Structure 1
Amino acid sequence: MTSRALRRIARRGFLTITALILVVTTSANPASAHWNGTGQDIASIHMYPFSYNSTWQTPMNKALANWNATSSPANFYKNSNSGSTITVKSYSNTWYGNYQRCGGMCMYVRLNSRTINRDASNFSNFVTSTLVHEFGHALNLAHNSGTSIMNTSRNRNSMTKPQSHDVADVNAYY
C-alpha cells in the first residue's frame, strides 16, 4: 500500500480505530500472567488424605502448608470424601510430578519416586518443590521461565514455596 493511500485511510480514522482496538484487546490480561485454564474451578481444593511413611508424608504436608501460607485464595486440605488423590509410585516416565484434572473439583497428582530418588540431593525439598509445582497446575498456573515454582528448570532442591509471581497469578485468576 502506498503512503498516499495510508494517509487517506488515516484521515478517515481507520488507523485510529484499529490502534484503539489493538490496545483494548491486548490489555485484557496482564502480560505477566501464566495461566493454562486446566486447573480446578475454585482455589479451595480438597484431596483424599494421603498416608505415606514420614520420609514422604512430611514434605507432602509441607507443600500444602506452603500454598496455604500465601496471600492467595489457595486452600489445600484433606477430606475423606474427596475424589482427588495424590499417588507416590515408581513410573517409567521421565517426569517428577504429574497433574491431571478429573473434573472441576477433582484432580489426580502423581509423584514419580523413581526420578525423585534418582535426582534429589535434598530429598525433602525436592518432594515439596515438586508437589507445590503440581498444586500450581491445580490453581490453573502454566509453566513459565521466570523466578517461579512453575519454572520447570528451577532448583527443586532449594525452591519449595510459591514465588511472588505465582501468588500474583493465582490472585489474578481467582
Structure 2
Amino acid sequence: MLVGTVGISPAFAHWNGTGQDIASIHIYPYSYNGTWQTPMNKALSNWNATSSPANFYKNSNSGSTITVKSYSNTYYGHYQRCGGMCMYIRLNSRTINRDASNFSNFVTSTLVHELGHALNLAHNSGTSIMNSSRNRNSMTKPQSHDVADVNAYY
C-alpha cells in the first residue's frame, strides 16, 4: 500500500531492538488493590485479544515486572528493557491519579501503551495507542495500525 492512501499505513513504528525478542512475554505476577489490578489485567487482555502474536501472561519465574508507585518523574508510564526476555514497566501513580478523569481507562491505556514498547513499537502520531497525545481516558486498546506494526515486526 502506498503511503497516503486510505487504509492502514505500512509499519514504520519499530523500536529496532529495544523491545522484547519474542511477542509471547511473561511477567512476574503483580498484586495491587482492585482499583489498579482490574485495569492492569485489562491491558494484558486487550493486547492478547488482537490478531497479532502478542501474548502477555503472568509467570512466577519471570524477571519482568510491572510496578505501580509514586515517582517524581513526569511520565505516566515507563518501559525499560533489561534483556531480550526481560522488561520493567513502571506506572506512575502520582501523575495518573492527578490527571485521570476516567481512572480505569487511563491506567489501561497507559499500560497498553507501555506493553506496545515491549512489542518494539515506538511513539507515532495519528490514531494509535502509541501516540503520546492520545486521549488516555477513552483509548484503551491497540488500534489497527498498532496491530499491523506488531504483525510486521514479528
TM-score band w.r.t. shorter chain = over 0.9
Q: 1:146 deviation in Å?
A: 1.4
- What secondary structure, in the 3-state scheme, does the structure 2 residue paired with 1:87 have? strand
Partner of 1:34: 13
Q: Which amino acid aligns with 2:116?
A: G
Q: Distance in 1 between the 2:12 and 2:43 partners?
A: 22
Aligned-residue sequence identity (percent) comes to 88
CA RMSD of aligned residues (A): 0.9
Which residue of structure 1 aligns with residue 103 of structure 2?
123
Amino acid aligned to 1:113: S
**What are structure 1's unaligned runs of at least 5 residues?**
1-29
> What does 1:36-75 align with in structure 2 at a 5 Å threshold?
36-37=15-16, 38-75=18-55
Name which structure has the greater RCO, CA cutoff 8 Å, separation 6+.
2
Give the TM-score taking structure 1 as reference length: 0.82
Aligned pair count reads 145
Query: Once the two structures are superposed, what CA deviation does each residue of 1:112-150 show, in whole Å capped at 9, x if it has no partner?
Result: 000000000000000000000000000000000111000
Partner SS, residue 142 of structure 2: coil
Q: Secondary structure at the match of 2:15?
A: coil
**In structure 2, what is the equivalent of residue 172 of structure 1?**
152
TM-score, scaled relative to structure 2: 0.93
- 1:137 partner letter: H
**Does structure 1 conserve the Cα–Cα contact (< 8 Å) formed by 2:11 and 2:152?**
no
| 1:107 paired residue number | 87
Say which structure is richer in helix: 1
1:79 aligns with 2:59: yes
